[in-house]
Chains A and B, each alone.
Chain A
């Protein structure tokens, strides 16, 4: 019998009902056992019966029916002891503690039995004498394995020693190279030499700013013979705002940037929100300012709690706003939990919505505890200066709005909540640490954004503007000779309405400023003065609102009267009825004015939101960015590495758990994570200041700041490893065909956005404007803006980009570039390629002045950022032959050949490939 599945099935049910044993007796424990002993665990022991007695019942319904054997029982008790003592109690620790113990008292220690393939919880199952002879070797091997550097993504990062390489066979420019060299030496690999300067230049330009070097930039670098020419170039590129745009697009993948989806005309925004581009701009600006990653993460999760009155920071919460789902709050929160975990922690929480995680020790209850962090949050759009219409502009942001309780849902089904217990916010025990949740009192204006000065100013200005417009309309009417009297009267009445409404608005705002909380005058004035002031302002507002109401009713009555006069026979009754109604309304308004004044004016319509916040998200962000959080830095560093080297050090960037793949060079990743959080390596930027020709806009400091992406990029791209050629080597290929140990640079295909951007860039038509509202995706072929500004949402994606494997809207932790005939068609036949080819060709024709050899050279430089070889020159020259006889035709022929050459080079493999 194989009780595993039925037992875990039981566990699922019982875990849900009783909340007992969760995280202890799940298949994740089996996974932990396998992880601890790795290949040293004999296969028959990778099962439930290593710790449980075989059950007489095929479908055990409780632990009573599927009891632990002595070994399992010992593990469980030890776990309880450790927990009581407040100590680390993960299975690995417990297995190590019990290694030398002989729990089943069969004369052989637990670990010895496990290594030899015998059950440590069953006395009758023990190694024969012959087997014991192998024990020593097994133990030695296993000890070596334990002593080796282990990939432990759930343990806090400890900075490993940088290997000292005696007589390095390759250049060691920084510790990255030392870590790799150790691997090369251990596996007999010979690293490839440095790439040519042309190749390297293009590579680093594309990686850092996403654009090819221009011919002038190529020349400048190739002629710069200073030993630190490359390093200076890197610094310059890192300071370039286009670097921020380039990397913003990468992070937009990881953080799931999406514009709104749905139908604006029906007012149905189904996913994300309008104006979410402000979050994109925040990403670009933050990267451009090298805002520390821990700060970025905190702002994205909780800017409304951290900096509630800073609209710039609030943009960051677009990270949460993006998950908005009109049709399902459940899906919304599910996406929030799932993708926050995957993007920032590399943990797949999604499975635990319905059942305990089967691979990582995360219980279903812990899933809901994490959900509780996000349960109270909602989205809203605040006004921005200069625009009152939220459909036209605004700031979508997150805030805590509800006090909805979080419950465990049976099997993840929201129809079956376990309402007997409200789940408090917490983080999975596996990840260590705890949340320190402190409720936050927000400034009054943070909850009442429409009371901000600029909104009031804009409201008054708009009202004054309508008075001016009404006045102009009336003046225009008066100046006309044959104006219809009724029309003129209508304009006069409309002006009266506008003036009186404006006066009422001024009065209402004055009254509100006194009465609303947060009003300074109210706090400053003594009680009786305040009361008098407040009452008089309020009654004044009431008076003016009543007056305005009369003016409005008078206008309506006039309109009804005019309509009646013009009505045809069959509409007469209806028109008469409308006039009667208007008469009544006017009479009512006049009567209202005659009533004694009170202070109950109608306030301005204004957003009123809570002025407190649970503090849950801020606590979560603080926990996430503590250096002892084992995953945050590792995951971020891996994402950066992936995008410079073509493959993550952890090949599954969104899953660092048991279902993912282990790190290929854990020491290196850990060292980088440590260096990212707490830099120790001096920045070489300090040398730059000495170079007057290249003044640096950033202050020089020897110690880079913590969590600085710029420091991380610099480390990566100035390593010798990064500078290697990507050409093959037969011996290395045979030993490591997948280049796991990075003996060469990986060739990569440009991302969709970079393909499009470089077509425009080569033609010289790329518009360098930074930021702003998204560009309609249907303009992808005609807009000169960079691709990250194109609308990207469900059903709203640029086809050209999707053909080049643009990001999926739902998730894109890693691009998966394909090679498809569709790409050939897009680069040959699209309006984008053809038009830009014509533009560039025209430029080249001018520059080359009828010299076809020169034109070929210029075209290669502009498009492929390199010189053509002799063979390439010869082949391309063919396009220009045979020259027609007449000069006029020759000119046309030359121009046409140039266009074709440019189009061919846009389609060249080298154009879309980073070598």
Chain B
């Protein structure tokens, strides 16, 4: 079966099924046809209704660009720079004045390998750093372009996560430990809660190579029990081949025929689904067909990056080999939110455990990878800002965990006890720095926050209350809902 977590929506009856799947008048006509077919009477409708797409309160953002770097980016050399590491390089943590920082070591982490995140011999910083902007945000030199946007960023430096291996990539998306397998991602909640602003494009788009199967795979952009119609749709950024089978071969089918076929198909699918009113896959398929029909024209149009002026293309780094791939993803992301896509999930370094997983030679690893994303992300922020799009587009930069202050040879190990992320735009307080790790970046020391607090903050900016989105029979925990980080929103 497609979805082990098929949603249970009490009161999804035959009639409401037709209404839910977008059949207004046609639904009535089909309804009368069904009665002729001898379909049984309906059971009474229950009180619960799925979301209407209206926000629960005034939103500050309409769309989200959710950037995810796979493998674990070093927090101590990016947005939570720790000069003390250079000072005490080569010493064991217990030999420094900060021996106490490991006292609560491992707290809350349900891990795989206890060595992960517990390296004790301090490794010096592998890159330089400097302060940027009026807010004076200190940023590692690997991210010098993003540094120039410092006054637009709200950095959260006190994050922790629950798993110490790359399954934490799934945790970042769903809030749950990877052992718990499939749960709705933040993107799915957004799509489910708000619906679309543009019927011609998916609500939730995935760009880049997602997390490998070891560490969440398709679950990292899935909708679980919310139904696959709310899951992320993967697109290529290659303008020559944005979607396979994007249109029928020349002369095979007229536009009128396509439209007539689609209309007939929609009715037939709704009729055939009448005995399976709880079938989320059918609902998703009906939507997928309507969307696919529109995407035949909307996607090639969206992917026409050569229509962008040269200075914009350069801004995203499309003119350089090393920044081109991610630059295209960022530029496509802007074009998607411009056209009303709710949630764009950008993966970088996906597949396997993730490219950023620098157990060895972190200097080389992070230098190379950061160079691929730094300028494109900065370009995206600047471009959104100059177009006024940053006001209602929330950009989030995240990874699954930090990297250990202690050395693992020439690399840094996984570090779930502390890591950082930043938010920008969409009503976020630019220049805010929230939370603090200890001097070595070992633990989130002040205002410790869990992954879902970022989720809660994003949903809050979108005008959604996750508790009001809850589905009957699918009890969520307090930890799933998270808490708004009020200090980073204006």
Measuring CB to CB, which residues of chain A are less than 8 angstroms from any residue of chain B? 1-2, 4-9, 12, 27, 58-59, 351, 354-355, 358-359, 646-647, 651, 659, 661, 726-728, 730, 733-734, 737-739, 746-749, 799, 803, 808, 810-811, 816-826, 828-831, 834, 869-872, 874-876, 878-879, 896, 900, 903-905, 907-910, 912-913, 915
Tell me the minimal C-beta distance from B379 to chain A in angstroms. 29
- Complex Cα gap A818–B224 (Å): 11
B236-293 interface (Cβ within 8 A of A): 243-249, 252-253, 257-258, 260-261, 264-265, 267-269, 271-273, 275-279, 281-282, 284-286, 288-289, 291-293
- Complex Cα gap A59–B102 (Å): 10
Write 24 A-B pairs (CB below 8 A) sorted by A numbering.
A2-B104, A6-B118, A355-B113, A355-B115, A358-B114, A737-B8, A799-B244, A808-B213, A819-B285, A820-B288, A824-B291, A828-B292, A829-B245, A829-B248, A829-B296, A831-B249, A870-B33, A875-B264, A876-B264, A879-B260, A900-B253, A903-B253, A903-B261, A908-B268
Asked if B271 and A819 make an inter-chain contact with CB atoms under 8 angstroms apart, the answer reads no
Asked if A823 and B288 make an inter-chain contact with CB atoms under 8 angstroms apart, the answer reads yes
Name the one of B8, B36, B245, B249 contacting A734, with C-beta atoms under 8 angstroms. B8
A-contacting 9-mer, from B226-234, B391-399, B458-466: B226-234
- Complex Cα gap A826–B244 (Å): 7
Asked if A733 and B114 make an inter-chain contact with CB atoms under 8 angstroms apart, the answer reads no
Asked if A646 and B271 make an inter-chain contact with CB atoms under 8 angstroms apart, the answer reads no
Asked if A733 and B8 make an inter-chain contact with CB atoms under 8 angstroms apart, the answer reads yes
Q: Between A and B, how many residue pairs show CB distances below 8 Å?
A: 211
Given known contacts A9-B115, A819-B288, A1 and B103 CB-to-CB distance under 8 angstroms: yes
Name the one of B2, B252, B253 contacting A749, with C-beta atoms under 8 angstroms. B2
* Nearest A-chain residue to B33, judged by Cβ: A871
* Nearest B-chain residue to A27, judged by Cβ: B114
Asked if B114 and A737 make an inter-chain contact with CB atoms under 8 angstroms apart, the answer reads no
- Complex Cα gap A803–B296 (Å): 16
* Nearest A-chain residue to B99, judged by Cβ: A58
Name the one of B6, B258, B273 contacting A738, with C-beta atoms under 8 angstroms. B6
Given known contacts A646-B1, A824-B288, A909-B272, A4 and B106 CB-to-CB distance under 8 angstroms: yes
Name the one of A359, A661, A730, A737 contacting B6, with C-beta atoms under 8 angstroms. A737
Asked if B292 and A821 make an inter-chain contact with CB atoms under 8 angstroms apart, the answer reads yes
Tell me the minimal C-beta distance from B419 to chain A in angstroms. 17
Asked if B1 and A747 make an inter-chain contact with CB atoms under 8 angstroms apart, the answer reads yes
Contacts of B300 in A (CB 8 A): none
6 additional A-B residue pairs with CB within 8 Å, beyond A733-B10, A900-B261, A908-B269: A12-B114, A734-B473, A821-B288, A869-B271, A874-B33, A904-B268
Size bracket, chain B contacts: 35 or more
Contacts of A351 in B (CB 8 A): 112-113
Given known contacts A5-B118, A358-B112, A822 and B107 CB-to-CB distance under 8 angstroms: no
Name the one of B6, B113, B474 contacting A354, with C-beta atoms under 8 angstroms. B113
Q: Which of B43, B218, B264, B286 has the most CB of A within 10 A?
A: B264
Kindly state whether residue B87 has any CB partner on chain A within 8 Å.
no
Asked if A59 and B94 make an inter-chain contact with CB atoms under 8 angstroms apart, the answer reads yes
- Complex Cα gap A829–B257 (Å): 12
Contacts of B6 in A (CB 8 A): 737-739
- Complex Cα gap A659–B473 (Å): 25
Contacts of B293 in A (CB 8 A): 824
Contacts of B43 in A (CB 8 A): 730
Kindly state whether residue B105 has any CB partner on chain A within 8 Å.
yes
Q: Which of B7, B10, B272 has the most CB of A within 10 A?
A: B272
- Complex Cα gap A811–B94 (Å): 43
Asked if B278 and A728 make an inter-chain contact with CB atoms under 8 angstroms apart, the answer reads yes
Tell me the minimal C-beta distance from A745 to chain B in angstroms. 9
Kindly state whether residue B37 has any CB partner on chain A within 8 Å.
yes
Top-4 shortest CB links A-B? A746-B1, A646-B1, A737-B8, A5-B106
* Nearest A-chain residue to B293, judged by Cβ: A824
1/0 per position for B447-474, CB-CB distance to A under 8 A? 0000000000000000000000000011
Name the one of A12, A359, A825, A896 contacting B245, with C-beta atoms under 8 angstroms. A825
- Complex Cα gap A799–B281 (Å): 22
Q: Which of B94, B107, B118, B292 has the most CB of A within 10 A?
A: B292
1/0 per position for B1-40, CB-CB distance to A under 8 A? 1101111101000000000000000000010011011000
Contacts of B217 in A (CB 8 A): 816
Tell me the minimal C-beta distance from A154 to chain B in angstroms. 19
Name the one of A5, A747, A829, A875 contacting B268, with C-beta atoms under 8 angstroms. A875
Tell me the minimal C-beta distance from B198 to chain A in angstroms. 14
Kindly state whether residue B202 has any CB partner on chain A within 8 Å.
yes
Given known contacts A834-B252, A900-B257, A825 and B276 CB-to-CB distance under 8 angstroms: no
Q: Which of B36, B105, B258 has the most CB of A within 10 A?
A: B105
- Complex Cα gap A661–B112 (Å): 16
Q: Which of A359, A737, A909 has the most CB of B within 10 A?
A: A909
Given known contacts A4-B114, A351-B112, A829-B248, A824 and B271 CB-to-CB distance under 8 angstroms: no
Tell me the minimal C-beta distance from B31 to chain A in angstroms. 10
- Complex Cα gap A738–B103 (Å): 42
Asked if B120 and A817 make an inter-chain contact with CB atoms under 8 angstroms apart, the answer reads no
Asked if A834 and B248 make an inter-chain contact with CB atoms under 8 angstroms apart, the answer reads yes
Name the one of A354, A826, A905, A913 contacting B281, with C-beta atoms under 8 angstroms. A913
Name the one of A739, A821, A825 contacting B202, with C-beta atoms under 8 angstroms. A821
- Complex Cα gap A811–B352 (Å): 12
Asked if A875 and B292 make an inter-chain contact with CB atoms under 8 angstroms apart, the answer reads no
Kindly state whether residue B111 has any CB partner on chain A within 8 Å.
yes
Kindly state whether residue B295 has any CB partner on chain A within 8 Å.
yes
Kindly state whether residue B179 has any CB partner on chain A within 8 Å.
yes
Contacts of B115 in A (CB 8 A): 8-9, 12, 355
Asked if A747 and B281 make an inter-chain contact with CB atoms under 8 angstroms apart, the answer reads yes
Contacts of A820 in B (CB 8 A): 233-234, 288
- Complex Cα gap A830–B398 (Å): 38
Asked if B243 and A59 make an inter-chain contact with CB atoms under 8 angstroms apart, the answer reads no
1/0 per position for B196-234, CB-CB distance to A under 8 A? 000000100000000001000110000000001101011
Asked if B30 and A871 make an inter-chain contact with CB atoms under 8 angstroms apart, the answer reads yes
Name the one of A738, A749, A822, A874 contacting B244, with C-beta atoms under 8 angstroms. A822
- Complex Cα gap A5–B119 (Å): 11
